[in-house]
Structure 1
């Protein structure tokens, strides 16, 4: 957990004093004794990969190719390309097996 100085806004550090810990700001000499246990748990909400890549509708407009599925060996797959890295690197191709029972996804 990061704590910031209420006076100047800089990051405070934890120092050990005589039988007591305290938060101290090096810029403005702000001091605050730690009187009890301090806890903080923040769990970020993770997004699904489909949300990042454009949601469910991205597969609605995907083209088909004769790429073979590595899981079920079906001979057709849907695909689309996205530039996931810098512009000087090739685009990433995402595939989804056209076999309804399989639906395997992979990328190149």
Structure 2
């Protein structure tokens, strides 16, 4: 299971990035120029093409995506499980980025936005 990674330069969250030429997975900082090679060689890209609205349309298979960061600092309001996958997205009709979460409890799968 993957965990959140932080930039050694500015302490910002690192995001997965596929290097198609070298066929490796990298983590990059969106705040500075820092990049690092992932500790696994899985290259998986999940693309969400539809509007995520209030988070209810976030696909449950987001939990299986090893490139999405995970957090244990946010508890699920539905089942109180202590691990969730999260990503940033733009909510329909809103400006700016919103954090979306999916509970990692396989029997729950609750989705919410921050």
TM-score by length of 2: 0.41
> Which gives a bigger RCO, structure 1 or 2 (Cα 8 Å, sep 6+)?
2
TM-score by length of 1: 0.43
